[in-house]
Structure 1
Amino acid sequence: MKLVRFGEYGREKPGIIDAQGQIRDLSGVVPDITGATLSSESLSRIRNVNAGTLPLAPSGQRLGACVGQARNFIAIGLNYADHAAETGAPIPAEPIVFNKAPSCIVGPNDDVIIPRGSQKTDWEVELAIVIGEHASYVGANEALDYVAGYCVCNDVSEREFQLERGGTWTKGKGCPTFGPLGPWLVTKDEIRDPQNLSMWLDVNGERMQTGSTTTMIFNVAKIVSYVSHFMILEPGDVITTGTPPGVGMGMKPPRYLKAGDVVSLGIEGLGEQRQRFVAFEEAQPDTSKGH
C-alpha cells in the first residue's frame, strides 16, 4: 500500500493511493497516518478496505509528511561506500548515528528554508525507514519484522553548522524544514528488496546524485537492529539511512544551495519530491509549522 497525508499544515487527513494513482480519503478508517496506524494489525485493517469505495481527496491537495507525530527522527551518516570516498572519510566500523529534530519534518513538496546566516546548505537523497512495532534489542535476523515501510527523505544539511561549529552533527541537520518526507509511505510488502533501489537528485534540472541502495555499508536490517540497542524504537519513528555520492560538499569546488533553487529527488518505487529553497527572511510565517 501507498499511504499519504494530505491537506493544510496541522490539518492533514490520512489517505491511500488507489489502483489509478488517485488519493482516497481514509478518514473513515483511521484518524491519521501515525505510529498508532502502523502496527501489523492496523495495516491489515486498512489493507482489507476496498480503496475504490473511499471518497476521492479534493484535487490539488498539498501532501504532508507521509507519517505524522514522529517522536524520533534518527539518521545514519556516511553509510554509502561511494559517498564516504567522495568526502575522503574512512569506512565506518559501526553505523554513525545522529538525530534530526522531529520538528524539521515537512511535506515532500513544501518550501525548504535556508537558515539565517547559512552559506552551506546541502542536499541528500535518502531511503527512510518507518518503524511499525515497538523495538528494543532486536536481532538483525528479525529486524524487518519491526518495519512498517519506507519513504523518500531529503536529509537537508547545513555543512558549516554540522562540521565547523563543534559538537555533534545534529546542529546542521535539524533546522526548520530540513526533513521532507514522502510523497507516500510504501508498506514493506511492496518493496521486494530495499537493498536494490535506484535513487537520484537534481538541482535546477541538473543531475547531481545517481546511486543505489546496493552500496549501503550497513543495510536496513542491520541499522534497525543496531539503533534498537541504544534506544527504544516506537511505531512512527523514522530512520533515514544515508546518501550516495553527489552532494554539494563533495564537489570541487563545493556547491551549495541558494534561494530560488529547486531540488527534485526520488527513489525507485517510493515516488518523487520537489522543493523550492527560500531565504529565511522570505519564508512564509506558517512554513515551519508542524507536519
Structure 2
Amino acid sequence: MRLARYRIGTGPERLGRVDGERITDVTDVAGASLRALLPRLEELTPALLAAEGDEHSLAAVTLLAPIDDPQKFLGIGMNYKEHAEEARQAGIPTPTSQLWFNKQVSCIAGPFDAIERPRVSEELDYEIELGVVIGTRCRHVRAEDARSVIAGYLVVNDVSVRDWLQKRSPTFTLGKSFDTHGPIGPWLTTDDEIADPLDLGMCLSVNGEVRQNWRTDDMIYDIYEQIAYLTQVMTLEPGDILATGTPAGIAAPTRNWLRPGDVVRAEIDELGAIENRVVDEV
C-alpha cells in the first residue's frame, strides 16, 4: 500500500491511498497524520484498503512530505563502498564504524518542493538515499528482527551544504539541516509491498543528466544492522526517518554544485520519484 499526505489547492491536509495515478481519500478512516497512524497501521490496513473516499488524479493534488513531524530524522554517512572512496578523495576520512548524524526535522520538504541554495554557501550537493520509516517503538533490536519494526520506505534527497558540513561545523548537523534540505516522498510504501529493500535500483539526475545510479545492495551496513546499532543507544519511535546512505556520484569530488534552476530527480525502484527545483534563498 502507498500512503500519501496531500492537499487540493489551499484546502486542508488529507491522507490518501495511492493506486496507480489516482489517490483515494482515507482521512475519515485514519485521520490526516501519517505519523499518528503508524502505531495502528496493521490494525487499520483492511479498512484503508477498502476505503472508498473521494478519488482524485495525482496530477490534481499537491503531494506533501509523507511525514512532516518525525521525532527524529537521522542519516548515516559514507555507507556505500565507492561513495566512501570518493569522499576520502575529497578529504573526508573514512569512518571505521557507523557514522550517524541528525538532520533537524525543520529541513523536511515535500517531494516536489523547491530546494533553496543558501545565502551563505554555493557548495550545494545532492544525495539520493533509501529512507526507512520506523513503525514500532523499539529499543535493543537484533538485526535479524529489525525488519519487524519497519513501517515502510520512501525516497530521500539528503541535500548537503559541503562547506558547512566539512569546514564550518565540527559535526555534520548544521551542513545537513538547512531549511528545505530534506525533501522526502513521494509517499510511504509499506514494507509488505517490497520483496527486498536491499535490492532496489536508485537513480539521481540533474537536468536529466544521471549523476548517481546504484543499487541498495552495496551498503556497507545494511538497514537491519543500522537499526540494531541505533537502538543500542536510543529508542526509535513510529515515524522516525532513517536516511540509509548515498552511493557514489555526489558533486563534491568534481565541485559541480547545484545551481538555481537545476532540477534534481531522485527515483528508487518500487518507491517512486521526487523532483525538486533549486532556487536561491530569498
Once the two structures are TM-superposed, the CA of residue 10 in structure 1 deviates from its matched residue by 9.8
Aligned pairs for 1:233-244 within 5 A:
233-244=236-247
Report the alpha carbon displacement of residue 265 of structure 1 after superposing the two structures with TM: 1.1
2 CA distance for matches of 1:50 and 1:138? 30
* TM-score normalised by the chain length of structure 1: 0.90
Q: Could you say which residue in structure 2 is the equivalent of 1:46?
A: 45
Q: Which position in structure 2 is the counterpart of 1:171?
A: 174
1: distance between equivalents of 2:209 and 2:120?
26
1:47-69: CA deviation from partner (whole Å, max 9, x where unpaired): 34445622114652111011232
How many Å separate the matches in 1 of 2:44 and 2:185?
A: 22
- Secondary structure, counterpart of 2:229 in structure 1: helix
Superposition deviation, residue 91 in structure 1 = 5.0
Matched, 1:249 2:252: yes
2:31 and 2:156 map into 1 onto residues whose CA distance is 24
Who is 1:224 aligned against? 227
Residue in structure 2 matched with residue 35 of structure 1 by the alignment: 35
Output the CA distance in 1 between the equivalents of 2:190 and 2:157.
19
Aligned to 1:68: 68
1:116 aligns with 2:115: no
Task: Tell me by how many angstroms 1:118 deviates.
Answer: 1.2
Q: Which amino acid aligns with 1:139?
A: R
Corresponding position of 2:110: 107
Cα offset, 1:42, TM superposition: 2.7
Cα distance, 1:46–1:117 mapped onto 2, change above 3 Å:
same
CA distance in 1, matches of 2:224, 2:33: 23
RMSD of Structure 2 on Structure 1 (CA):
1.7
2:261 is aligned with 1:280 = no
Give the counterpart letter for 2:138 in structure 1: A
Deviation, structure 1 residue 189: 0.6
Q: Which of residues 200, 205, 214 is equivalent to 1:211?
A: 214
CA 84–62 in structure 1, closer or farther in 2 if over 3 Å, else same: same
How far apart are the structure 2 equivalents of 1:16 and 1:100? 28
Which aligned runs of 4 or more in structure 1 are off by greater than 6 angstroms?
Answer: none
More strand by share: 2
Identity %: 39
Q: Give the corresponding residue for 1:259.
A: 260
| Corresponding residue of 2:22 | 22
For 1:34, the aligned partner's letter is L
Output the CA distance in 1 between the equivalents of 2:264 and 2:10. Answer: 21
Report the 3-state secondary structure (helix = DSSP H, G, I; strand = E; otherwise coil) of the residue aligned with 1:153: strand
Counterpart of 1:166, as a letter, is S
Q: State the SS of the aligned residue for 1:152.
A: strand
Shift of 1:87: 1.8
Q: Unaligned stretches of 5+ in structure 2?
A: none
Q: CA deviation at 1:11?
A: 3.9
The residue type paired with residue 205 of structure 2 is D
Match of 2:189 among 186, 195, 220: 186
Please give the alpha-carbon distance, in whole angstroms, between the structure 1 residues aligned to 2:276 and 2:147: 30
CA-CA distance at 1:225 after TM superposition:
1.2
Cα pair 2:169 2:175 within 8 Å, conserved? no
Sort the Cα spacing of 1:101 and 1:9 in 2 relative to 1 into closer, same or farther, 3 A: farther
- Give the total of aligned pairs: 277
Alpha carbons 2:29, 2:47 under 8 Å: kept: no
Paired position in structure 1 for 2:271: 270
Q: Secondary structure at the match of 1:181?
A: strand
Counterpart position of 1:286:
none
Structure 1 alignment gaps of length 5 or more: 282-291
Note if contact 2:26-2:51 (Cα within 8 Å) is conserved in structure 1: no
Q: Structure 1 residues 192 and 24 mapped into 2: Cα distance closer, same or farther (>3 Å)?
A: same
Residue of structure 2 equivalent to 1:138? 141
Moved more, 95-104 or 80-89: 80-89
- The separation in 2 between residues aligned to 1:266 and 1:155, in whole angstroms, is 13
2:222 & 2:11 partners in 1: Cα distance?
A: 33
1:102-126 deviations in whole A, cap 9, x for unaligned?
A: 0111111101111112110000000
Corresponding residue for 2:131? Answer: 128
Query: What SS does the aligned partner of 2:221 have?
Result: coil
DSSP 3-state at the match of 1:222: helix
Provide the C-alpha distance between the structure 1 equivalents of 2:231 and 2:10, rounded to a whole number of angstroms: 31
